[in-house]
């Protein structure tokens, strides 16, 4: 591309003598105006040529920033007092204005992400514990219940009769204990008068023990029948919602027959599998985030509660369980979510802003500002990168602590270009 600057129509021989010097002075003023006009044309031409100069910039946002910075620098040059034609070096280019930041040491945390499945915090299949026919059903699918709330009632007539019978047996065994005690008291009195044998005395004592054991057995039987009567009313073991009801009024249930499916989703568990390398960098109690596309991309914070120590034989991954609060019951059992968790790198590296990176000849490059006889000079250095985040990147090779890298003004930089740092420029004004 060729940039054309119009010839100075006023250039010529200034002449000799006093008239010549006056004409020369006028000529210098005209030359100055010509230089200003040429600078404006140069700025417009450079602004139009930006896409050609920076074809290696891949991001459109970088192109817009480069165009704006080039135009700002070009217009700013119009306000700068031009050098004298007598002292200006025609081969010397003015320094480019740049911003720099120091290279620092640090560590970048990168996030891991795996897919997991939501499970209810608690779930149970409630079953009948005693036999009987269903007389009443108190719940329907979707109902919310509290702990120990009745779900259904079985026919309990025989159970009530059994309880009454057991109570009668307890009463009878109490009478047996009292009678055996009185007989023992009479035997003790006779034994003191030596009117009964020692063996008879011992037999009376054994009778008391048998009576007491009979009472204890009757009391146990009573508790069993009372428990069976209580089990005739099936109750919720914990608060939750009814997912399914498996029986209806009139069904006969044997012990162990499923009655309802109950789930507790006041909280939820998100279970996912991670690699061995990720598992070693996770810890119980770490904060993480679960993202659910089914909820419009909602991000729900939670806590990692456990990291498995035995790999799954099928996938080779280690199970991680995250607990999530679910007060609005938005999460459902079986939903798929993305578990996003932080992974901290152990080693520290030099870190630079992402804005300092440019691509030249297919390689990522930094421009490092160094002192030189001509002033400050920017030198291109290819780099090897490590981890990165939205604002900064680790540099494994290519720069060191103490370097100053260019972060703004990269649009026209080439290796060895003379630069002027904005902070230094402000101090000279």
Dihedral class, residue 409 (left if φ above 0, else alpha if ψ from -120 to 50, else beta): left
| Angle at the Cα of 206 from the Cα atoms of 202 and 209, rounded to 5 degrees | 145
C-alpha dihedral sign at 281, 285, 286, 289: positive
Bridge-partner residues for 338, per DSSP? 115, 291
- Cα 364 to Cα 315: distance, rounded to the nearest angstrom: 37
How is residue 404 written in tokens?
């100053």
> What is the DSSP-derived secondary structure letter of residue 297?
S
Bridge-partner residues for 242, per DSSP? 262
**Tens digit of each residue's pLDDT, the chain (429 residues):** 444 444 444 444 444 444 444 444 445 455 555 454 455 445 444 444 444 333 343 444 444 555 555 555 444 444 444 444 444 455 567 888 999 999 998 877 666 789 999 999 999 999 999 999 999 999 999 999 999 999 999 999 999 999 999 999 999 999 999 999 998 888 888 888 788 888 888 899 899 999 999 999 999 999 999 999 999 999 999 999 999 999 999 999 999 999 999 999 999 999 999 988 888 888 899 899 999 999 999 999 999 999 999 998 888 899 999 999 998 989 999 999 999 887 655 567 789 999 999 988 888 899 999 988 878 999 999 988 877 777 888 888 889 998 999 999 888 888 988 898 986 543 443
- For residues 383 and 400, the answer to whether their CB atoms sit within 8 Å is no
Dihedral class, residue 139 (left if φ above 0, else alpha if ψ from -120 to 50, else beta): beta
Q: Which position has the token pair 């059992």? A: 333
The whole-model pTM stands at 0.53
What's the pLDDT score for residue 43?
A: 47
CB-based contacts of 389: which residues, under 8 Å, 6+ apart? Answer: 108, 109, 110
Sheet holding 132-137, edge to edge: 233-235, 150-154, 132-137, 252-253
What's the pLDDT score for residue 46?
A: 47
Q: Which position has the token pair 């999460």? A: 331
CB-based contacts of 104: which residues, under 8 Å, 6+ apart? Answer: 350, 351, 401
Pairing relation of β-strands 150-154 and 132-137? antiparallel
DSSP string of 369-422, one letter each residue: EEEETTEEEEEEEE-EEEEE-SSEEEEEES--TT-EEEEE-GGG--TTEEEEEH
Pairing relation of β-strands 318-325 and 258-274? antiparallel
How is residue 272 written in tokens?
């996912």
CB-based contacts of 230: which residues, under 8 Å, 6+ apart? Answer: none
The answer as to CATH 3.40.50.300 being correct for domain 98-108+348-428 is: no
- Cα 292 to Cα 27: distance, rounded to the nearest angstrom: 75
Which H or E run includes 17?
A: helix 17-48
Fold of the CATH domain 112-121+264-344: Elongation Factor Tu (Ef-tu); domain 3 (2.40.30)
C-alpha dihedral sign at 390, 416, 99, 349: positive
Count of C-beta atoms within a 10 Å radius of residue 286: 17
What's the pLDDT score for residue 90?
A: 52
């Amino acid at each position: 591309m060729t940039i054309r600057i119009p010839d100075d129509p006023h250039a010529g021989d200034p002449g000799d003598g006093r008239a010549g010097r006056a004409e020369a002075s006028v000529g210098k003023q005209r030359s100055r105006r010509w230089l200003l006009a040429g600078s404006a044309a140069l700025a417009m031409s450079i602004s139009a040529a930006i896409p050609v100069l920076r074809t290696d910039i891949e991001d459109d946002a970088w192109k817009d920033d480069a165009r704006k910075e080039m135009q700002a620098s070009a217009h700013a040059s119009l306000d700068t007092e031009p050098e004298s034609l007598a002292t200006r070096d025609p081969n010397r280019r003015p320094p480019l204005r740049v911003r720099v930041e120091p290279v620092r040491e640090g560590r970048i945390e990168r996030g891991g992400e795996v897919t997991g499945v939501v499970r209810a915090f608690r779930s149970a299949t409630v079953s009948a514990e005693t036999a009987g026919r269903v007389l009443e059903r108190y719940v329907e699918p979707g109902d919310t219940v509290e702990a120990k709330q009745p779900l259904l009632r079985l026919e309990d007539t025989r159970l009530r009769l059994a309880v009454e019978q057991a109570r009668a047996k307890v009463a009878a065994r109490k009478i047996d204990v009292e009678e055996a005690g009185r007989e023992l008291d009479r035997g003790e009195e006779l034994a003191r008068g030596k009117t009964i044998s020692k063996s008879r005395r011992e037999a009376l004592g054994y009778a008391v023990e048998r009576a007491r054991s009979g009472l204890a057995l009757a009391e146990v039987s009573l508790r069993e029948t009372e428990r069976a009567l209580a089990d005739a009313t099936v109750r919720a073991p914990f608060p939750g919602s009814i997912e399914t009801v498996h029986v209806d009024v009139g069904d006969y249930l044997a012990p162990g027959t499923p009655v309802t499916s109950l789930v507790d989703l006041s909280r939820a568990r998100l279970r996912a599998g991670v690699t061995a390398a990720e598992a070693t960098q996770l810890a119980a109690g770490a904060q993480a985030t679960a993202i659910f596309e089914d909820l419009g991309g909602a991000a729900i914070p939670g806590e990692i509660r456990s990291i498995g120590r035995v790999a799954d034989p099928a996938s080779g991954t280690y199970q991680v369980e995250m607990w999530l609060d679910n007060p609005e019951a938005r999460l459902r059992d079986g939903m798929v979510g993305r578990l996003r968790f932080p992974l901290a790198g152990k080693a520290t590296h030099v870190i630079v802003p992402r804005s300092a990176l440019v691509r030249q000849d297919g390689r990522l490059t930094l421009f490092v500002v160094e002192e030189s006889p001509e002033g400050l000079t920017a030198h291109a250095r290819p780099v090897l990168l490590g981890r990165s985040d939205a604002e900064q990147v680790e540099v494994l090779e290519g720069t060191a602590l103490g370097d100053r890298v260019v972060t703004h003004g990269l649009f026209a930089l080439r290796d060895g270009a003379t630069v002027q740092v904005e902070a230094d420029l402000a101090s000279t004004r």
